[in-house]
Every structure is written in C-alpha cells, then in structure tokens.
Amino acid sequence: MCGFCGFTGDAVNREQLLQQMADKITHRGPDSQGVYTDEILAMAFRRLSIIDLEGGSQPIENEDGSKVLMFNGEIYNYRELRKELLEAGHVFKTETDSEVLLHGFEEWDADLLCRLRGMFAFAVWDKHTKELFLARDYFGIKPMHYTLLPDGRLIFASEIKCILEHPDYHKEFNTAALDNYLSFQYSLPRETFFKDIYCLQPAHYLRYRDGEITETRYWEATFTPDESMTLDEAVDQIDEVFTNSVEAHRISDVEVGCFLSGGVDSCFVASYFGGQKAFTVGFDNGQHYNETNFAAELAEAVGIEHHKHLISEEEYWESLPKVQYVLDQPLADPACVALYAVSKLASQYVKVVLSGEGADELFGGYRIYHEPTSLAGYQKLPRTLRRALAAIVRAIPFDFKGKSFIIRGSKTVEERFIGNAYMFSKEEKAKLLKTIPATDPTEHTKQWFARCEGLDDVTRMQYVDINRWMVGDILLKADRMSMAHSLELRVPFLDRRVFEVASRIPTKHRIGGGTTKHALRLAAKRHIPEKDTARPKLGFPVPVRVWLRKEMYYNKVKDAFLSADAERFFNTDVLVQFLDEHYTGKRDNSRKIWTVYMFLVWYHLYFGD
C-alpha cells in the first residue's frame, strides 16, 4: 500500500514542489520514497513495504526503459500473471506485483485491467508516445484524483491535499458539492469539494496526451440473478469463493491481522485468523455502542489474539478535526472516528488488516433493503390514492407512527431511494441554504437506476449503493482512516470472483429467512458460532444522538452553527432550530446536525480564515 503524485509541464522549483507534494502523503508510505522526472513529467512515490520488502521500490521501469510505473495497491493473482508474462518473454528484475503490472500493461495495454484480481490505482508513463495512463480498481478501493489546468497541464495524486500544494492550481470551493453532500452525507464522485479537481471513477482508466484527457469505463458491477439457484447452492458457492478470497488477500511478507466489530461480516473474516491478531473498538455508552464483548467471545472461540480499545467522548470529539483533514473532503459518517481509532490500534501490531467492507452492498445487508417487501402490500393500492394519502400526512406538522411508511409507499424506488443515507430533501435544503440552489437528490441517482432497469427493486438499490454510497462513504473512510496510520486495509468481500458469485444469487436468498444477507449468514455459520451469524448489523455504532443532548456538545455545535463560516452558506436560524429540537427531545435531528457540523469542521480546515 502506497501513494503517489505527479504533474506534467514546468513549475517553479520543480523538484522542491514535487517533494512538497510527496510529503503530504508520507503517511501512505513511510518506508521509502522514489522519484521520476523527465522534461515532461515529474512523479513521486511513497512506499509502505508489504511484498518483496527489499526489491519492491518504485518507480519501476520495463526492460528497455520505455515505460515507467507507480502503483498503489495489491494484486492478488500476480504470481499467475507473472508466469504468463515470463512465458511471453518478459524479463523481471523483482518479485513484486508492481512489476507484473508494468509488464502486463506492456503486453496487453488496457486489456490488462480485466485480468487483475486486487485493489489498485496506478500510473504508467510511456516515454516514447508521451502518454500517461492512469487506472483505478473495479470498486474504487484505492483513490485517484486529478485536475487539468487551463493550459493543459495535468496534476494527479492519491490524495487531494497533494494537488493543493501545486501553485498553479488555484484552490476554489465547489458550491455544487455542498448541495449534494447535504443529501448524501458525502461528496458525489466524480465531483469533489474543490472546483476542477475530480476523482477517477471506479473501473475507469484515463489517458493523457498533449494536454487532452479521455476517460473510459472498462468494467461494471452487473447483477444477473440466477433464479434457478437453490439456497444450498448459494451457500456452497459463497463459502468456497470467500475462503479462496481470504487466502488470496492474506498474501504478504509481513504479518496480517483483521478488524473485528462483532457483526457477521467481520466475524466471518476473523474465522480464518486463528492464532493471529484481531482489533476492536467501542464506546463506553452502554452495550448498544460497544461490541467489544461480542468480539472478544468470537476471538476466544476461534483462537485469535484480541486487542480492544474503548473510545472516550473526549477522544472522539478531539479527533474530529484530524479525521476531517485526513479525509480531504467532508464526510458525515460518525463511524469515521471509530475506524480511525481501530486503525491506530492495529498499526501498533501489524502493517496489514483484513476488513468486512462490501459485504452489505454485494449480499444485501442493509435493513433498508427490506423496504420493497414491506411496502409491497400497500403499493397494490392505486398510485393516485397513495399519493393523496401522502399529501395529507405530509401536512400534519408532527411525526407519528406510520407517517414515513405512507409517504415512502407513495413513491417508486427511484423516487424514494438515493442510497443508504438520505439526509436533507430538496425542500429542506432550500430552507437551509442561503444562495446555493437546492437540487433534487434523485436527479443524481437517476442514471444508475436506468443502468439496471428491469431488475427487482432490492437489486437496483444494491446497484445504486455500490456505485454511490460504497464509493463516496464506505471505501473513502476505509482508505483514509487506515492510511492515516500507515496501515494497509484489504477487503476480501470486494473481490472480482466474490462479486461474480454474489451477482448471480437471487434476491430471495439475499433478503430471505426474515433477515438480511441470508445466504451469507448461512455460509458464515459453517465457520463461526450461530449467535454471531444472527446478530443484527451494528458496524461501529456511535452515540452522537446521546452526546448532542449534553449541554457541553450542544454549545460546541451551536458555536459552529453561528460562526462566520456557517453564515456564509446557511440560514443559521434554521440550523439552530434543528439543534434545539434535538436538544430538547422534540425530534431526533442528530444525523442532519452531524452532516452540517462535519462540513463546518472540514471547511474551517481547508478554507477558513
């Protein structure tokens, strides 16, 4: 796991600038640094040594020195590809997966990408054609950002903070990103909060030559459910492919550990780690916010050396500015700090961990995926009647049991679902924002629903989450929180072969048996105690709702809501009303409050006075 950055063309104090950019991502690769420069391109690389500790430094050049590679990630089938490339006549100087990428690109060009099994973001510079090739993995596990300057020069990096160091990029706030963030709780890829800085989308590659960019999608996570598949067949296939994936993801020349939250996903991963180390964090706010005891029981059952840490209120709140800085962009997921803390804990013992990200999106793990089934009976009523009932209950100024059901039941899945989080509606944003136009968040998911038209509603919701929520929230925080502590985080559920199995499982085996991830839970049951497979999803639950009803934190957030930064964007009386309603127990506004507060913490770090 590493990081790299670079730019084309001239710049004042070019070598010094490249070093400044590389210094911003030292945390991604504290073990060594490499540099490549010529008359057109300057690139720098920071390395975290995992495979071929002695020979894996970058940049790496091919046999004749015509191509140069910098690579962030891990390729789990590199040994098979290496054998194929040796048979084709390529000469290797190292034992690294990085060199396999370079020779693979030399042999197959962009067709290499669909041969890979792993997580990756890499750059290949062709000295002869003067073309730069950038690529990102299938699901967006590893990051890649870039900007094209007005004169055609390109700046690219693993993290946005590197690009901000370049004096010819003039930092400007992207107001449209705030509108989207208020609904989704994260910045919508491909846009970022910095004007004209973009993230390369998952499963895309970019070619840059003579000041021009072309982007191409090379793969798509397409679901093709096989309705003839039995539940036993689904369980067998999950068991087999996931065991294979974990074995592949454990390939390393350093010790590998795992995260253990207490839920079925991480327990399933941990079941393969007998005799090794697992890491858990929780909060001292009652059992609902602390899964460390569940994790400890599982660790004992499968023979894992277990390490845990309880996060105090003070530690959590003090971490917020550090976390938002590391993220590059605001993210309102309260679990960020928990992931930051467990990464810090793990980094004291190991360099690599496996984690359970992706299981919910691939196998149907979120409770919201039950909604199509819950609404099915009600939606048999005529649509006009349902819409009329929804209009009536919307006009009632207070919440009551069944209100949300009637409103959501009046809508199609395209109208009601934008992803696992839905913070502010267009109408709420219009009241909250001063000058930034409020958009309907469903406009930003419409294209994704269109791409999976014809599938059932549950599968379409999963597809949207894979392409939006998982990229913008789950994988962003996984990468940034782990790399902040120079820790490589691997995600065996987000494996091409695992997805090939998940994509064929019919919905009745994903959302069935009265639970989520039905088939996955049955596969996990073969490896872990039954009580651990049946436990409802918690993840890293955070007591934000409780804290915001304490005077100390109420006042802290209120100060931010009345600050000059808040005045710049928001009608602050609306913000304070949200806060007061929550503080007095009138309604639970914690998620909405947190979404705005995290933005203000981030904005002060990157744009504040």
Distance, CA of 275 to CA of 140 (rounded, Å): 31
DSSP string, 412-460: -HHHH-SSS-----HHHHHHHBSSSPP--GGGGTHHHHHHTTTS-HHHH
- Check: CB of residue 241 under 8 Å from CB of residue 519: no
C-alpha distances (whole Å) from 362 to each of 70, 309, 507, 530, 570 are: 30, 29, 11, 22, 37
* Catalytic status, residue 2: yes
Q: Give the Cβ contact number of residue 338 at 10 Å.
A: 26
**Contacts of residue 377, Cβ cutoff 8 Å, sequence gap at least 6:** none
Evaluate the CA torsion angle 584, 588, 589, 593 in order and state its sign: positive
Pairing mode, strands 352-354 and 256-259: parallel
- Residue 168's Cβ-count burial label (10 Å; 0-12, 13-18, 19+) is middle
> And the tokens for 241?
């492919």
H/E element, 209: strand 204-209
Measure the CA–CA gap between 580 and 567, rounded to whole angstroms. 18
Q: 130 is written with which tokens?
A: 């003067």
- Catalytic one of 2, 162, 199, 258: 2
Instruction: Report the 10 Å Cβ neighbour count for 342.
Output: 29
Of 310, 253, 252, which is closest to residue 281 (Cα–Cα)?
A: 310
d(Cα 103, Cα 138) in Å, to the nearest integer? Answer: 20
Structure tokens at 561: 């809501």
Strands 305-311 and 277-283, bridge-based pairing: parallel
Q: Which residues are catalytic?
A: 2
